[in-house]
Amino acid sequence: MRKKIVAGNWKMNLSKSEALALYQSVDAQNTANEIDLIVFPSTIYLDGLKKLNGKLKIGVQNFHPAESGAFTGENSITQVKDLGAEYVLIGHSERRMYFNEDSDFLKEKVDAALQHDLKIIFCCGEPLSIREMNAQGYYVEQQLIESLFHLSNWAIENIVIAYEPIWAIGTGKTASSEQAEAMHAAIRGFIEKQYGKNTAEKISILYGGSCNASNASELFACENVDGGLIGGAALKANDFLQIANSF
Ligand code: PGA
């Protein structure tokens, strides 16, 4: 059985008190015990959230793969691990787009996270121009080949993949369940081609992109959709919990 996961990407939102209140509210009301719930706050709130000793897992949206050094403004892999991060997000389209993180750099981040025993949610997904050419399968396969497929069978099994079509992120334009299932099945197929069926069946693949309390149950009912990476709707405790209860 693949792990079911619902993760909240809080992006660059919330004050410190709002972040603490949101975490506490989700944690206190969470009844979805068989689902892994993870939140990705701003790194500066990590320490405060860890001190709440809740059951929700916590990850970071970003880190630098070097252990230390002259990288002004960055937090190293060892620093985020030291703060108590259990998960890291790698390859989000906003990091690729606005911070020029290319496939080689993402590969370095993947290797650094695995070396430090951090669990990875690796994001992939195509822009609208690629979808309009119906080339999303090829595009996403290249993203996986370039940053993940150097890993061993053992290592890849520690990775969760999030398929996030860029045209659906923050736009209110969700992929239909048919579009999501087609891409999730294709992604599982790419993994199978590289690593075999056994490994491909173990990897959770999440959907992200305007997933909310009203469309989550239809998306999560798809055979190859194992949960969601939620942006906007993760900022409201009730919406996030409703999504977590959508399986
Ligand atoms: P969204 O963001 O749910 O607001 O579309 C998803 C994401 O960027 O991970």
Backbone angles phi, psi at 147, to 5 degrees: -115, -15
Mean per-residue pLDDT, 36-64: 97
State which ligand 1 atom lies nearest to the alpha carbon of 230: 3
- Enumerate the H helices of the chain as residue ranges: 16-29, 46-50, 77-83, 93-98, 103-115, 128-132, 136-147, 153-156, 177-195, 197-202, 216-220, 237-244
Answer yes or no: is pLDDT of 161 > 90: yes
Residue 196 C-alpha to ligand 1 middle, in angstroms? 30
Answer yes or no: is pLDDT of 76 > 90: yes
In this prediction, residue 140 has a pLDDT band, given cuts at 50, 70 and 90, of very high
Q: Whose CA is closest to atom 9 on ligand 1?
A: 231
Q: Is the CB of 164 under 6 A from ligand 1?
A: yes
Mean per-residue pLDDT, 220-233: 98
Q: Is the CB of 208 under 6 A from ligand 1?
A: yes
In this prediction, residue 90 has a pLDDT band, given cuts at 50, 70 and 90, of very high
Q: Whose CA is closest to atom 1 on ligand 1?
A: 231
Q: Whose CA is closest to atom 2 on ligand 1?
A: 231
Q: Give catalytic residue positions.
A: 92, 164
DSSP line for 171-225? TS-PPPHHHHHHHHHHHHHHHHHHH-HHHHHH--EEEESS--TTTHHHHHTSTT-
Mean pLDDT of the chain: 97
- pTM confidence score: 0.97
Answer yes or no: is pLDDT of 1 > 90: no
Mean per-residue pLDDT, 118-126: 98
pLDDT at 138: 98
pLDDT at 83: 95
The answer to whether 177 and 199 are in contact (CB under 8 A) is no
Q: Whose CA is closest to atom 7 on ligand 1?
A: 231
Residue 174 C-alpha to ligand 1 middle, in angstroms? 10
State which ligand 1 atom lies nearest to the alpha carbon of 211: 3
Mean per-residue pLDDT, 172-191: 96
